[in-house]
C-alpha cells in the first residue's frame, strides 16, 4: 500500500464526516446545468417575465458555452434559448447518434419535441397515439411524457391530464426533486388559459430559486444517495463515530412504503440503486437496530427482479441492467437466505454480452467495480460451473481495467480521456478486491488519487452521473465520497486466488 494512504484517508474521512448535517444526512446539492437553465430562459422569454432573472440565466448560458460547453445536445438547447436558429430534428439525432441504449427512441422524441417547442413550435402531427406512452415507468418520466404529449396536441388533453400536470404548480421544491420534469410540465400547462396565471406564478418562484450563477440544476440534490455511499466508506474508516448511527437512523426514516429508497429527501419513487447502497450501509452500520428496514429493503429489491434474474433501475419489467443487478447482488449477498437469488443474478451478469456498461454512469469503471464485487459473492455452495465462470469473468474485468489504465495511474470516461478522481476511484475499488497480481496497478491508482487531493483534503472531479441518460449532471459532494469509498477499500492484503 502507499505509505501516505492512512493519513490521507483519515483526513478525507474527517472532511466527509463534517459534512453530515443536523438531520443526519450529507447535503449533496446539484450544480446548475445547461438544459434546465435553457428551458427556464425559454419559459421566461415566452411569458415576458422576470427580466432580471432572465438576464442572469442568459449570462450563465453564454458563459458556460464560452468556457465549459457541455454535450452537443445541451449546447443546442442553450443556443435555442438564446435565440439562435437551429434545425431541431437533425440537431437532436446527431447529438444522440453515439448513444446506444434501450431508451434512445424515447430520448429522440423527448428532445426533438422540446427543442421544437422552444424554437418554432411546429410539432409533428403524424405521431402514433402511443408515442408518448410511459405507463409503468418512473413517476417523473410519466409526468414528463404526458407533458410532451400535451405540448404537441393540447386540445386532445383531458381534464385528468391537466390535473396530473398541475403537480408542477405546487409551491416549494419541485415534485420528486426534479427540476426538468417541472419545467417540461410548465411548458405544457401554459397552453391552457386557465392554468397560465399559475404557470407565471410558478416561474416567478423558480426564478427566486436560481443558483448564484444564474442556472438551475437537473435535480435538487442526492442527499440519500450520497449519505448511503459515504456511510459504507465511513463504517470502514470511522466505525465508532456516533454520527454514523445518526445517519443510519436518518436513512431508515426515509424508507418509502414499498421498502425502497429514493435518491433524496422527498422522493417517493424508489429505485434499485439507492436501495442497494442504503441496504448495504444499514447492514454494516446498524444490522440489529434496523432489522425491519433491512428486511423491507430486501423485499423491495426482490420484487423488482425480472424473470431473467437481473434488476432494472426503477420498475419491474423494465430492461435489466448490469450495474443495477451487480448493486443488488452486493446488497443481498450477506444474507444467506438470499443465496439462490444472488446466484441467479450472477448468472444474469455472466450471460450478458459484455460487462462494460455506460448508463447512469458515463464511464466504464462504475459498472465494472460493482460487477467485480458481485462476482466474488458466490459461496462454495454455489454450482461449480457458476463459480468457475464468475472467476473467469472477474479476471477479464480486472484485465480490462489494467489494460485501460492511463500512464498517470488513473482512468477517465473513455480510454485515452484525461484521468479524473471519480472514474479512478471506481477502478480502485475493483483492484483493491482483485488478486495480488493487480497490486502494481492498484499502487499506481492510489498514487493518482493521492496526487489529486486538494489542499483542503477534498477532491474535484469531472462528473459521471447521467440523467436523463446520457446527459451529465454534477453533484460536487460525490467526488469526496467516491474517493473515500476507494481509499476505504484499500487495506493490507491477504493471500487471494
- Could you tell me if 482 and 422 are in contact, meaning their C-beta atoms sit under 8 angstroms apart? yes
Residue 3 has pLDDT above 90, yes or no: no
C-alpha cell at 130: 402511443
- Could you tell me if 224 and 255 are in contact, meaning their C-beta atoms sit under 8 angstroms apart? no
Residue 273 appears among annotated catalytic residues: yes
Same domain, 280 and 377: yes
Candidate from 331-335, 355-359, 485-489 with smallest mean pLDDT: 355-359
pLDDT digits (tens, 9 = 90+) for 376-428: 999 999 999 999 999 999 999 999 999 999 999 999 999 999 999 999 999 99
Domain annotation covers residue 93:
yes
Same domain, 183 and 299: no
Where among 208, 240, 259 does a domain terminate? Answer: 208
C-alpha cell at 421: 478522481
The pLDDT, as a whole number, for residue 497 is: 36
Higher pLDDT, 459 or 72: 459
Residue 118 CB-density burial (10 A; 0-12 exposed, 13-18 middle, 19+ buried)? buried
Candidate from 3-7, 43-47, 492-496 with smallest mean pLDDT: 492-496
Same domain, 248 and 190: no
Q: Which of 164, 179, 147, 178 is nearest to 40 (CA)?
A: 179
3-state secondary structure of 321: strand
Domain that holds residue 13: 5-28+221-488
Same domain, 281 and 421: yes
The pLDDT, as a whole number, for residue 107 is: 87
Same domain, 441 and 327: yes
Domain annotation covers residue 496:
no
pLDDT band, residue 85 (cuts 50/70/90): confident
Residue 276 has pLDDT above 60, yes or no: yes
CB atoms within 10 A of CB 467: 17
SS3 content of the chain, % helix, strand, coil (to 5): 60, 5, 40
Same domain, 332 and 475: yes
Residue with cell 438576464: 55
pLDDT digits (tens, 9 = 90+) for 410-421: 999 999 999 999
Count: domains in the chain: 2
Residue 98 has pLDDT above 70, yes or no: no
The catalytic position among 273, 274, 420, 480 is: 273
Domain annotation covers residue 246:
yes
pLDDT band, residue 495 (cuts 50/70/90): very low
Q: Which of 196, 149, 170 is nearest to 46 (CA)?
A: 196
pLDDT digits (tens, 9 = 90+) for 99-113: 666 677 888 899 999
- Could you tell me if 184 and 147 are in contact, meaning their C-beta atoms sit under 8 angstroms apart? yes
Residue 197 CB-density burial (10 A; 0-12 exposed, 13-18 middle, 19+ buried)? exposed
Q: What angle (nearest 5°) sits at the alpha carbon of residue 219, between those of residues 13 and 146? A: 150
C-alpha cell at 35: 438544459
pLDDT band, residue 231 (cuts 50/70/90): very high
C-alpha cell at 209: 430559486
User: How much is the average pLDDT of 324-344?
Assistant: 98
Domain annotation covers residue 392:
yes
Same domain, 250 and 321: yes
**Phi, psi angle pair for 281, to nearest 5°:** -65, -50
Same domain, 460 and 339: yes
The pLDDT, as a whole number, for residue 263 is: 99
Residue 493 has pLDDT above 70, yes or no: no
- Could you tell me if 98 and 74 are in contact, meaning their C-beta atoms sit under 8 angstroms apart? no
Domain annotation covers residue 214:
no
Same domain, 336 and 477: yes
What CATH code is carried by the domain that includes residue 225?
1.50.10.20
Same domain, 173 and 235: no
How far apart (Å, rounded) are the C-alpha atoms in residues 242 and 324?
30
Where among 183, 208, 233 does a domain terminate? Answer: 208
The pLDDT, as a whole number, for residue 184 is: 98
User: How much is the average pLDDT of 145-150?
Assistant: 96
Where among 162, 177, 208 does a domain terminate? Answer: 208
Domain annotation covers residue 213:
no
CB atoms within 10 A of CB 264: 27
Domain annotation covers residue 15:
yes
Same domain, 452 and 329: yes
The pLDDT, as a whole number, for residue 496 is: 40
Residue 2 has pLDDT above 90, yes or no: no
CB atoms within 10 A of CB 248: 25
Same domain, 57 and 173: yes
Residue with cell 443488488: 328
Count CA within 13 A, CB hemisphere, residue 100: 4
Domain annotation covers residue 450:
yes
Amino acid at each position: 500500500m502507499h505509505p501516505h494512504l492512512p493519513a490521507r484517508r483519515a483526513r478525507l474521512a474527517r472532511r466527509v464526516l463534517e459534512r453530515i448535517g443536523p438531520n443526519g444526512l450529507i447535503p449533496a446539492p446539484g450544480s446548475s446545468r445547461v438544459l434546465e437553465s435553457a428551458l427556464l430562459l425559454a419559459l421566461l422569454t415566452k411569458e415576458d417575465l422576470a427580466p432580471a432573472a432572465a438576464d442572469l440565466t442568459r449570462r450563465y448560458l453564454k458563459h458556460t458555452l464560452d468556457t465549459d460547453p457541455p454535450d452537443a445536445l445541451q449546447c443546442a438547447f442553450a443556443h435555442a434559448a438564446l435565440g439562435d436558429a437551429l434545425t431541431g430534428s437533425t440537431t437532436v439525432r446527431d447529438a444522440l447518434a453515439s448513444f446506444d441504449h434501450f431508451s434512445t427512441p424515447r430520448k429522440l422524441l423527448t428532445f426533438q419535441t422540446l427543442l421544437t417547442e422552444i424554437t418554432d413550435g411546429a410539432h409533428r402531427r403524424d405521431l402514433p397515439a402511443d408515442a408518448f406512452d410511459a405507463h409503468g415507468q418512473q413517476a417523473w418520466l410519466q409526468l414528463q411524457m404526458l407533458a410532451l404529449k400535451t405540448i404537441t396536441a393540447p386540445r386532445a388533453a383531458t381534464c385528468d391530464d391537466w390535473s396530473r400536470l398541475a403537480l408542477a404548480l405546487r409551491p416549494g421544491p419541485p415534485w420528486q426533486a426534479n427540476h426538468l420534469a417541472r419545467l417540461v410540465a410548465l411548458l405544457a400547462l401554459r397552453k391552457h388559459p386557465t392554468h397560465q396565471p399559475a404557470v407565471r406564478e410558478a416561474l416567478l418562484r423558480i426564478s427566486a430559486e436560481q443558483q448564484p450563477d444564474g442556472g438551475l440544476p437537473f435535480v435538487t440534490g442526492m442527499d440519500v444517495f450520497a449519505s448511503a455511499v459515504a456511510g459504507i466508506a465511513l463504517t470502514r474508516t470511522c466505525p465508532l463515530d456516533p454520527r454514523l448511527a445518526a445517519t443510519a437512523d436518518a436513512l431508515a426514516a426515509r424508507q418509502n412504503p414499498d421498502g425502497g429508497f429514493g435518491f433524496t429527501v422527498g422522493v417517493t419513487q424508489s429505485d434499485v440503486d439507492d436501495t442497494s447502497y442504503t441496504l448495504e450501509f444499514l447492514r454494516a452500520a446498524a444490522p440489529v437496530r434496523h432489522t425491519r428496514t433491512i428486511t423491507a429493503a430486501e423485499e423491495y429489491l426482490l420484487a423488482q427482479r425480472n424473470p431473467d434474474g437481473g434488476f432494472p433501475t426503477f420498475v419491474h419489467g423494465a430492461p435489466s441492467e448490469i450495474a443495477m443487478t451487480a448493486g443488488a447482488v452486493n446488497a443481498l449477498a450477506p444474507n444467506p437466505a438470499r443465496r439462490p437469488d444472488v446466484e441467479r443474478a450472477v448468472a444474469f451478469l455472466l450471460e450478458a454480452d459484455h460487462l462494460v456498461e455506460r448508463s447512469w454512469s458515463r464511464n466504464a469503471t462504475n459498472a465494472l467495480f460493482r460487477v467485480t464485487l458481485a462476482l466474488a459473492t458466490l459461496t462454495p455452495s454455489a454450482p461449480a460451473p457458476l463459480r468457475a465462470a464468475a472467476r473467469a469473468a472477474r479476471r477479464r474485468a480486472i484485465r480490462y481495467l489494467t489494460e485501460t489504465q492511463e500512464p498517470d495511474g488513473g482512468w477517465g470516461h473513455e480510454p485515452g480521456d484525461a484521468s479524473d478522481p471519480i472514474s479512478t476511484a471506481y477502478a480502485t475499488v475493483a483492484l483493491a478486491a482483485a488478486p495480488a497480481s493487480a497490486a502494481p496497478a492498484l499502487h499506481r491508482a492510489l498514487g493518482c488519487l493521492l496526487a489529486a487531493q486538494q489542499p483542503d483534503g477534498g477532491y474535484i472531479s469531472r462528473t459521471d452521473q447521467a440523467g436523463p441518460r446520457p446527459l451529465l449532471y454534477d453533484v460536487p459532494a460525490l467526488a469526496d465520497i467516491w474517493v473515500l469509498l476507494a481509499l476505504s477499500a484499500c487495506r493490507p492484503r491477504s493471500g487471494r486466488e
